[in-house]
Chain A
Amino acid sequence: MSKSLLKVNNIEVVYNHVILALRGVTLDVEEGKVVSLLGANGSGKTTTLKACSNLLHAERGAITKGSIEYQDKDIANSDAYNLVKDGVVQVLEGRHCFSHLTVEENIMTGSFIRENSKEAKQDLERVYDHFERIRIRKKSLAGFTSGGEQQMIAMGRALMSRPKLILLDEPSMGLAPQLVEEIFAIVKALNKEGVSFLIAEQNAMVALKYADEGYLIENGRVILKGKAQELLDRPDVKEMYLGVGAEGQTSFRDIKYYHRRKPSFT
């Protein structure tokens, strides 16, 4: 078993002191692995990622219980800047490109924490090698590029900090299936170079296809975890997340028991 890179221990996250978003999420990203975090809207995927990258406080959220360890160090009291320096970087949901900056400037913002500007230039080339599509658009304003290109810009920008772990939030959002495959193929290629991934996705089929492990999250807690292939083969996952029934069509009423647990209010 390889070394654990990121360990989330039973965290609880509360927004604005009242809204309970996560009520016990535990997960583990091992070095060199791609881990998918699956769930519906509002189940807590994004919150989990933001908790890991320390962006929660910007949205008035706070971790109230549990701990997050990165390379065996508690990072709950760190900040985003230091985390990026240590090698954890998040690609936000909905891309969030700097629309008034050019594509190249966008990517270069990712190198803010880097001291050596010569190395940054080399890394820029590396980013273009991975994302050929945006090389030709490097001088245009990022706001005018397509959704797929923006996703690539956002990922390229994150790569500039030479991360060990990328928290990728909903990379498939609003993209054509072909582009989604392209993005995930790049994820796989980067993974071969040694970057680990924690990916939050609604598109369970693709996410599990490219992942090593998967976690299912619902109502702020992890309800299922396992190897990606095992999850793909489970009948309940197939029905609820992949849209294919075990034997033809099943009524939703019959399958509810799979994942409803008694909510605990303790």
Chain B
Amino acid sequence: MDWVYLIEVLVGGLMSGVMYSLVAIGFVLIYKSSGIFNFAQGTMLLFASLTFVKMTENGIDFWTSLFIAAGIMVIFGVVTERYVIRPLANQDLLALFMATVGLATFQEGFSQFIWDSDVHGLQMSKFLDIGLLDPAPIFMSDHVPWLDILIPKFDIFASLVAGSLIVVLAFFFQKTKTGLSLRAVSDDHMAAMAVGIPLQTVWAVVWAVTGIIALVAGLLWAERVSVSFTLIEAVMKALPVILIGGLTSIPGAIVGGLVIGVGEKLGEIYLADVFGGQGIELWFAYFMALMFLVFRPQGMFGEKLIERV
């Protein structure tokens, strides 16, 4: 067995796992706080990154574009809460899910209507002078003689961004008053209202934060696969991630993403002969999710139903 090659595959898997995790966090946030499975997460990514790319293409500089795109995502989140979620509050969850399906369809058309449906490339290195955005990979053999593998610098950059996002979110949820009220709302809407937590405000905050996460995730994905309609499908890989990690757990989204990333890369390389050919990468994640649904439906870190006996 070629150990160096194995390590390279592992690292590649972890890096692509980070990308899945970033998208999965968006799902988890909304599910945690309102019990809604937000089908529109993928189109939010598309909308956010398309908005950003179109602005940079029109000559606006990086930070201003980022700022404006973030602002637009926040406004979008608040408007969604006000006109889609709030009128349906306390309705059947399926009704809310269908509303997000509708939202996804609308957003998909809307973003391509106001911008365009072309494929846009995004190269952040053009705007940001950070060494990590340099397209040349790191040759590990320069640092560790026996480790002859390549690590794309962008993957490290993406991991750092994802990592810091997670730290910020964890702090926000565990240590701040707003975070506490978010967790309270996700636990019991009625009780949260009874103690004076304004549900609408909390939901608006969640949708706004999710919008910003969608922007960050969207930009990182766009850098890899370009900004276009296909971004939505890439995002669908996040579904098995949250099923594995647990719908209500942010750490679960991270670990789930890494597991899927590594799993499908390893499967592709080492199981190809067993299953008669390539393409394992395409279905492996869904297969794992299915296994989890059968044997551990709450996922790795999902909240177990606390039941008093």
Contact = CB atoms under 8 A, between A and B. Distances in A.
B306 A141 contact: yes
Contacts of B90: 58-60
Interface in A129-185: 141, 143-144, 147, 154, 157-158, 160-161
Highest count of chain B CB atoms <10 Å: which of A92, A112, A154? A112
Given A59-B90, A60-B90, A105-B180, A97 B306 contact: no
Contact of B306 (A60, A81, A113, A144): A144
Given A109-B184, A109-B192, A110-B195, 12 more contacts: A79-B198, A81-B193, A81-B196, A83-B196, A84-B195, A91-B194, A98-B192, A99-B188, A100-B187, A101-B180, A112-B196, A112-B197
B303 interface: yes
Contacts of A59: 90
Nearest to A158: B195
Nearest to B187: A98
A109 B182 CA distance: 10
Interface residues of B, number: 22
A58 B177 contact: no
B190 A96 contact: yes
Contact of B196 (A85, A96, A108): A85
Interface string B152-194: 0000000000000000000000000100110110011111111
B196 A80 contact: yes
Interface of B: 89-90, 177, 180-181, 183-184, 187-198, 303, 306, 308
A154 to B, nearest CB: 8
A157 B187 contact: no
B194 A109 contact: no
Nearest to A90: B194
Chain A interface category by residue count: 35 or more
B187 A53 contact: no
Given A58-B189, A96-B190, A143-B308, A101 B183 contact: yes
A158 B194 CA distance: 8
Contacts of A207: none
A195 interface: no
20 contacts: A53-B194, A55-B190, A58-B89, A85-B196, A89-B194, A90-B194, A97-B188, A98-B187, A100-B303, A101-B187, A105-B180, A109-B180, A110-B196, A112-B180, A143-B306, A144-B306, A147-B308, A158-B194, A160-B195, A161-B195
B190 to A, nearest CB: 6
B190 A58 contact: yes
A216 to B, nearest CB: 25
B189 A98 contact: no
Nearest to B195: A110
Minimum-distance CB pairs A-B, first 3: A84-B196, A143-B306, A96-B191
Nearest to B181: A112
